[in-house]
Amino acid sequence: MSVINLTKKTFENEVLKTDKTVLIDFWASWCGPCKMLTPVIQQLSEEVPEGYKIAKVNVDEERELAMKFGVSSIPTIVVMKNGKIVNQAIGYRPIKDLKKLLGL
């Protein structure tokens, strides 16, 4: 599965109206830890089973979404299920920690 780039236009369909658990990575191109997390997010997207989505939100391009989630530090990882936040973390995390956030 490929990583989905979320925008405020696609957020509702991709996150709120899905029955899948969605991990969202809030990031920016200038952020060092975000750059370190990018290949981990990509690997995670290739390893998660059916029923999960992996997505990214560029906070510079989608400020409204970042504000909606109260993102003040990046990377911020948010896990959502049924339109509700079920887990979150701030900062770089190895893949095993991301899988744990997803309940895998």
Catalytic residues: 31, 34
Cβ neighbours of residue 82 closer than 8 Å, sequence gap 6 or more = 19
> Which residues are registered as beta bridge partners of 24?
55, 78
Hey, is 10 helix, strand or coil? Answer: helix
Residues 3 and 34: beta-carbon distance below 8 Å: no
Residue 12 DSSP one-character state? I
